[in-house]
Amino acid sequence: MTDAPRPESAEPPAPPYDELLDLALEAARRAGELLRDHRPADLGVAATKSSAIDVVTEMDLAAEKLITGFLTERRPADGILGEEGASTPGSSGVRWVVDPVDGTVNYLYGRPDWSVSIAAEYAGEVVAGVVAAPMRGETYHAVRGGGAFVDGEPAHCRPAPPMDQALVSTGFNYVHAVRSHQAEVARRLIPRVRDIRRGGSAAIDLCDLACGRLDGYYERGLHPWDLAAGDLIAREAGALTGSRPGLPPDGDLTVAAVPGLFVPLQRLLDELGAWHD
């Protein structure tokens, strides 16, 4: 008796998630070293995106080329989605979601809070994620169901504080009209929490939540490459993530917080209109 043929619509078998993690770690390490060690003194802007503030440097492009070339060489049947334009559908059921420099403006100005973010999806779900922050000397990673780690040590989010003692991070869009509304949301939120931080890298903010350095984080306007790896790392460290009540993180709003704070913060942000411009 022979096995029945697999339906053409079925997903290919899942690869070992640890194998995907190892590739992401190596790709992030190589890209991080390139960005850290070969940043030109006269680093220039190669292109602008949504506004003159939202920039791409030649190093973003070089890092994405390095990452996608490395991954394609090792797993040529995988799909890739990159912030700087890499896009291939793939046939393996695996897709890599790549942000070569999360926090490009920080990188442009020589500030340390930038990162390389690489996530592996299988059948549409993120199963492995790596965020490397070379100027911090830290690498964060997670595999679905396996916990979160920073430099190989387990990472855990903080116990939930009362709302008025919560340290919350956020980010602002590059489009003026959107930024203005986000500033108004932040103005109304500040009296309700301990304080607000604005770091400039969504991936690092989510990893700081995972490591107990923040109690919550929210931002409107993120793309898949901004949050794929960091969202998995935060959740594997014990945090909760979502959008508006009942919805997963998306471009309208990403909310992440320690359990016990997540629901009240999510409801407050919904009340303040953080999900629209």
Last residue of a domain, one of 122, 155, 188: 155
pLDDT in tens, 16-73: 999 999 999 999 999 999 999 999 998 989 888 877 778 899 999 999 999 999 999 9
Q: Are residues 151 and 64 in the same domain?
A: yes
Q: Are residues 60 and 140 in the same domain?
A: yes
In a domain, 7, yes or no: no
Q: What is the pLDDT of residue 262?
A: 98
Q: Are residues 167 and 240 in the same domain?
A: yes
Please give the residue range of the domain that contains residue 254.
163-272
Query: How is residue 164 annotated by DSSP?
Result: G
Give CA–CA dist 211/24, Å, rounded. 20
Q: Are residues 50 and 175 in the same domain?
A: no
Last residue of a domain, one of 155, 184, 214: 155
In a domain, 1, yes or no: no
Residue 181 is part of a domain; what is its CATH number?
3.40.190.80
Q: Are residues 90 and 171 in the same domain?
A: no
Position 7 pLDDT exceeds 90: no
Q: Are residues 95 and 201 in the same domain?
A: no
Domains: count for the chain = 2
Last residue of a domain, one of 113, 130, 155: 155
Calculate what percentage of the chain has a pLDDT beyond 70: 96
pLDDT in tens, 157-199: 999 999 999 999 999 988 888 889 999 999 999 999 999 999 9
Q: Are residues 22 and 145 in the same domain?
A: yes
What is the CA angle 121-218-30, rounded to 5?
A: 45
Order of all β-strands in the sheet with 240-242: 195-197, 167-170, 216-219, 254-257, 240-242
Residue 118 is part of a domain; what is its CATH number?
3.30.540.10
In a domain, 2, yes or no: no
Q: Are residues 150 and 168 in the same domain?
A: no
In a domain, 8, yes or no: no
Q: What is the pLDDT of residue 10?
A: 65
What is the CA angle 113-114-120, rounded to 5?
A: 135
Q: Are residues 175 and 255 in the same domain?
A: yes
In a domain, 240, yes or no: yes
pLDDT in tens, 112-144: 999 999 999 999 999 999 999 999 999 999 999
Give CA–CA dist 263/253, Å, rounded. 14
